[in-house]
Amino acid sequence: MNANVAPDRTETATAAFLARPHQLLIGGKWVSAANGATIDVINPSTGKVFATVAAGGAGDIDAAVRAARRAFSSGSWAKLRAVERARLLYKLADAVEANAEEIAWLESLDGGNPVRSVRHVDIAMSIDSLRMSASLADKITGETPLSAPQGEGFAYFLREPIGVAGLITPWNAPFLMAVNKIGPALAVGCTVVHKPAELAPLTALRLGELICELGFPDGVVNIVTGLGPLAGQALADHPDVNKISFTGSTRVGKSILSAAAVNMKRVTLELGGKSPIIVFPDADLERTASSIGDEICFKTGQFCAAGTRLFVHQAVHDELVERMVSRLGAVKVGAGTSPGVQMGPIISEKQLERVLGYIAAGGADGAQLATGGKRIERDGYFVEPTLLIGARADMSVMRDEVFGPVLGVASFSDPRDLDQIAAMANDTQYGLAAKIWTTDLRSAHQLARKLQAGLITINGGGGDGRMPFGGFKQSGIGREGGREGALSFTEIKSVSMGY
Ligand code: NDP
């Protein structure tokens, strides 16, 4: 299948979705925002409005939370047999798979990423994620100690669904993020209110349509599109929400944490990153250069775990940079739905200005452009993939999350001084990921122990949805993914009894 060529069926299905009104899903019904407000949705590949969605406000969030609470308290979901919850989640995975091309096409229009990449990464991982959540539904259990407690008696602990979960997601991988939160929450028996990002809200609504078609009880999944400071904040503030699972910027993550204090909501935060890539002199340079090049372009660098600070041994610095420059120069940049495109636009004009600002600041601070650095003059929000060499730790481009296709490069001299290499890599407020390239596995695993990051890859090890995902330091709190992710939607209750 060539996912870059939309079959007629996909385009027709996308057009049919776009022709429908994009309302809020509350209590099993599609409704307009209470005040009738809407948000324009812009295709970042053209800069033009191509859809509008309802702009939910605090009143709509309150209605959605009440619907989720009713569904939770009624037991229509939490008390459903776990295998029944699993059956519906498997059906949802099948429905996503059956509509995968259409969802990928829609997400490409919405967020700008190449259709092929969305289909084979985001949507493929979403299908896996839903099946994994389904498989966990009947395996989340408490424990009973083998031996009796002091005296005569019996003790055990239960795991119960936490209640109503508020799920707030960003625009860079909207469908996958929605599914990665909705799946585990539903698997353990929670009901949810999902607030997608205003810049890419459409595929969450398509997911909502599939959920409605499959017979999930009303109110189990509620979806409220709207602005972050209004709808998002109202969800974070709501006193009847038991947990917030948030993915986005560290700045908003901190405000969620303060809002959660009001009623001690449980919180999982997946925040920003400034992940180091460490290349030793014995690394396979061809593989390393091609993988780093792909990583710079993946989601146009708008990817929380992207490697954005490269530390390369001085002996291979020039050769690696040369290989990456030649690779990046050949990248086909364009609209996500155009055939053969490898890198799409930045999500918005504002975000593009921000990225260009960081590139300019890097240059002003003394880094040199090895390639890229400029806006691509055409409709939409395009920038060249960019390498800045001679970067220093004190530069903003090496400290802040740029969220664009920009890599800062620095070098090191002693490959045996792992403490010094780790100190360079760990010199950041973030701790989401770290990537090591070497054929010396002893150094790789010793260094992995020293790095402060929630995800370490060695020689390009890929993502595995079964692994817990999350960050150290200001990259977040808690973990998503696999069993750990599902457990984060449960509360523990210990019970003991004397005979
Ligand atoms: P935000 O953190 O602002 O947005 C993430 C989500 O939170 C969106 O749904 C947003 O709504 C919502 N939100 C915004 N403000 C509030 C609030 N006060 N209370 C509750 N929810 C809120 O990220 P941005 O989209 O603005 O991106 C800015 C920067 O954040 C990027 O440049 C990047 O550095 C980082 N980022 C990191 C991501 C990651 O995965 N680590 C993902 C996305 C961004 P709305 O869309 O309406 O604003």
Percent of the chain with pLDDT over 90: 94
Name the amino acid, one letter, at 142.
Answer: G
Q: What is the pLDDT of residues 338-348, one digit of tens each?
A: 999 999 999 99
Please identify, by atom number, the ligand 1 atom nearest to the C-alpha of residue 402.
Answer: 34
Sheet containing 275-279: order of strands:
368-371, 386-389, 406-412, 307-313, 275-279, 433-437, 455-458
Evaluate whether 53 touches 205 at the Cβ level (below 8 Å): yes
Using CA positions, which residue lies closest to atom 26 of ligand 1?
249
pLDDT at 463: 76
pLDDT of residue 7: 56
Q: How far is the CA of 476 from the centre of ligand 1 (A)?
A: 13
Q: Would you say residue 381 has pLDDT above 50?
A: yes
Q: Would you say residue 4 has pLDDT above 80?
A: no
Other C-beta atoms closer than 10 Å to the C-beta of 368 total 13
Residue nearest to atom 27 of ligand 1 (CA): 249
Ligand 1 centroid–CA 229 distance in Å is 10
> How close is the Cα of 248 to the center of ligand 1, in Å?
4
Whole-number Cα distances in Å, 293 to 287, 296, 312, 342, 407: 10, 5, 14, 11, 9
From 297, 304, 384, 401, the catalytic residue: 304
Average pLDDT of span 61-83? 98
**Atom 10 of ligand 1, nearest CA residue:** 228
Q: Which of 270, 295, 401, 480 is catalytic?
A: 270
For ligand 1, atom 11: residue with the closest CA? 228
User: Per-residue pLDDT averaged across 122-143, rounded?
Assistant: 97
Residue 2 clears pLDDT 80, i.e. is over it: no
Nearest CA to ligand 1 atom 22: 228
Q: Which atom of ligand 1 is nearest to the CA of 251?
A: 2
Mutation to probe ligand 1, out of 171, 246, 249, 262 (largest number of atoms < 8 A from CB): 249
User: What distances in angstroms separate CA 415 from CA 244, 280, 290, 455, one per listed residue?
Assistant: 43, 6, 22, 22
In this predicted structure, the answer to whether residue 1 has a pLDDT above a threshold of 70 is no
Q: What is the pLDDT of residues 32-67, one digit of tens each?
A: 999 999 999 999 999 999 999 999 999 999 999 999
Per-residue pLDDT, averaged over 149-160, amounts to 87
Q: How far apart are CA 218 and CA 328, in angstroms?
A: 49
pLDDT above 70 coverage of the chain, percent: 98
Nearest CA among 230, 237, 259 for reference residue 56: 230
Q: Is 97 a catalytic residue?
A: no
Is 304 a catalytic site residue? yes
Could you give the count of Cα atoms lying within 13 Å of 433 in the half-sphere of its Cβ? 26
Nearest ligand 1 atom, CA 401: 34
**Rounded to the nearest whole angstrom, what is the distance from the C-alpha of residue 169 to the centroid of ligand 1?**
7
pLDDT at residue number 148: 72
Is the pLDDT confidence value at 416 over 70?
Answer: yes
Q: Whose CA is nearest to atom 8 of ligand 1?
A: 197
pLDDT tens across 429-457, in order? 999 999 999 999 999 999 999 999 999 99
Instruction: State the pLDDT at residue 451.
Output: 98
**What confidence tens digit (pLDDT) does each residue in 181-207 have?**
999 999 999 999 999 999 999 999 999
Question: Which residue's C-alpha comes closest to atom 16 of ligand 1?
Answer: 228
- How many A from CA of 170 to the centre of ligand 1? 5
Average pLDDT, the chain: 96
Whether the per-residue pLDDT at 179 is higher than 90: the answer is: yes
Output the CA 134–ligand 1 centroid distance in Å: 28
Predicted TM-score (pTM) of this structure: 0.97
**Cβ(69)–Cβ(262) below 8 Å:** no
Ligand 1 centre distance from Cα of residue 115 (Å): 23
Q: Would you state the pLDDT for residue 6?
A: 52
* Ligand 1 centroid, distance to 203 Cα (angstroms): 17
Burial class (CB in 10 A: 0-12, 13-18, 19+), 150: exposed
Backbone angles phi, psi at 366, to 5 degrees: 110, 0
According to DSSP, residue 217 is labeled P
Ligand 1 atom 15: residue of nearest CA: 228
Q: How confident is the model at residue 462 (pLDDT cuts 50, 70, 90)?
A: confident
Which of 181, 252, 304, 475 to mutate to test ligand 1, by most ligand atoms within 8 A of the CB atom? 252
Ligand 1: atom nearest CA of 196 is: 9
Ligand 1 pocket, residues with Cβ under 6 angstroms: 168-172, 195, 197-199, 227-229, 232-233, 236, 247-249, 252, 255-256, 271-272, 304, 401, 403
8: confidence class by pLDDT, cuts 50, 70, 90: confident
The minimum-distance atom of ligand 1 relative to the CA of 347 is 25
Structure confidence at residue 11 as a pLDDT band (50, 70, 90):
confident
pLDDT at 150 over 80: no
